Each structure stands twice: as structure tokens, then as C-alpha cells.
Amino acid sequence: MSKSLVLFCDFDGTITEKDNIVAIMRRFAPPQWEALTEQILSQQVSIREGVGRLFQLLPSSLKQEIVDFIVEDAVIRPGFAEFVRFCRDEGIELLITSGGIDFFVEPILAPFELNVPIYCNGSDFSGEHITITWPHRCDEHCDNDCGMCKTSIIRRYDPDRHFRVVIGDSVTDLAGAKIADFVIARSLLAQKCAELGLAHRTFATFHDVIDIVKDLRTKQEVGSP
């Protein structure tokens, strides 16, 4: 019996060309956002703690202005609409697994009328500053304090029955890439996959991703659920 294919697709830097949290901070945050971002990248603070503190720099009253800015600013990687249609037509299970926040992930994706689960962090604008909520925290197998824990979601798919493919661009996808069956990678993630000898192919557009998924279905004998 063939395994069913499931795709875990990152958002920032993968579906969108750039990182939206960085774009929002650059535009709206006071200067200390840069030092905080350094602390996250150098792993002095966890992603959850660091991202939480970054958004605490922003007043809740800016909500609509931030949403309008980011919807305008975000550039979708070419081929994404075709990729979504391809997965739908072929009955391939697709999940969006994002370390981004609902208030920008959802409006950016809205035009694509995705009929798939979108896992991301939540937000609360009831206080003076923006509070990030964390509905998808790490399970008992992960102690990274990810915020939105990608490996926890991947682990819910039994590897005996699923061929699990991570699509991503960055170190935030690396833990998931290590436990996946295959990785479709660009940028830093592609470099890390090569260094670690993880089974992967690289992509620049979602047209490439479609071709790679087609090849996987032929060569790995993976099917649809």
C-alpha cells in the first residue's frame, strides 16, 4: 500500500518572498526591535519569547494600519496559486505551518480561498500593546519553545502511513526538516539540508515545487489519501 503524501508549507520567506515580521518591525517598531531580533537569531531567547516581546513594542491601536501595510507590502512567490490548485485537483493534503501571526497570515492568504488548515500564532489587541497568543505550542517531544511548533504538527502524521514533506526556507524549518521524509528547500534551509545530508531538492518558485511533488509521486510511489 502506498503512503499518502502530506505537505507542510511554511509561510514567511516561502509563500511570501520576504519575512513579514521583519517588514512590520522595520516599518512600525522603535529601534530596539533590531537588538531583540539579534537575540532571537543567536538563540539567547526562544522564538516564542522573542516574537512575543517584539509585538509588545507595537500599540494595539496600529492594528488596521499594520494589516493594510503588510497586505500591500507582501509579495507572493510565483506559482503559489497554481500550486494550491494542483494540490486541490490531485487530492494532496496541504497544511500551512507558519511561525507568523493570524492577523497578517490570514489576510495575505485570503485571495487564494485556501480550503486547507492554516497553523499560525494568534493575536490579542485588547491591551495597550499587541499580545501574541500561542495556540500551537510545543508537545512533550519538543523543548525549543517554538511558539507555533512545526514538529508537533508533523508528529501527528504517522510515518508508516504518510510521506511527510516540509517546504521551507529557513532555520525555523530545520527541526521539521530533520524528522520529515523529504524537504523542498530554498535559501538557508537548502544550505543546511545539504550540510546535513537530508533528502531534499531546491526550489525558487512554486512551479518548481509542483514539478518536485510530481516527481516524488512517481518515484516514491506515494499517493493521495
Residues in touch with Zn ion (CB under 5 A): 138, 142, 144, 146, 149
Q: Which is nearer to Mg ion, 52 or 100 (CB)?
A: 100
Cell of 204: 525558487
Q: State yes or no: residue 181 binds Mg ion (CB under 5 A).
A: no
Residue 133 CB, nearest distance to Mg ion (Å)? 20
Residue 99 CB, nearest distance to Zn ion (Å)? 10
Piece of 24-32, 63-71, 162-170, 194-202 that binds Mg ion (CB under 5 A): 162-170
Q: Which is nearer to Zn ion, 93 or 145 (CB)?
A: 145
What part of residues 11-70 is at the interface with Mg ion (CB under 5 A)? 12-13
Cell of 199: 533528502
Q: State yes or no: residue 121 binds Mg ion (CB under 5 A).
A: no
Q: State yes or no: residue 176 binds Mg ion (CB under 5 A).
A: no
> Residue 56 corresponds to which amino acid?
Q
Residue 149 CB, nearest distance to Zn ion (Å)? 3
Question: Of Mg ion, Zn ion, none, which one does residue 12 interact with (CB within 5 to 8 Å by kind)?
Answer: Mg ion
Q: How far is CA 191 from the centre of its chain?
A: 18
The residue assigned the cell 526591535 is: 33
- With contact defined as beta carbons under 8 Å apart, do 9 and 150 qualify? no
Piece of 39-47, 69-77, 163-171, 212-220 that binds Mg ion (CB under 5 A): 163-171
Residue 12 CB, nearest distance to Mg ion (Å)? 4
The residue assigned the cell 503524501 is: 5
Q: State yes or no: residue 184 binds Mg ion (CB under 5 A).
A: no
| Alpha carbon separation from 101 to 24, 162, 193, 194, 218 (Å, rounded) | 11, 28, 26, 30, 36
Question: Of Mg ion, Zn ion, none, which one does residue 144 interact with (CB within 5 to 8 Å by kind)?
Answer: Zn ion
Helices (H), the chain: 20-28, 33-41, 47-56, 63-73, 80-90, 102-109, 150-155, 174-179, 187-196, 206-219
Q: Which is nearer to Mg ion, 105 or 222 (CB)?
A: 105
- With contact defined as beta carbons under 8 Å apart, do 123 and 131 qualify? yes
DSSP type of residue 111: G
Chain positions contacting Mg ion, by CB under 5 A: 10, 12-13, 169-170
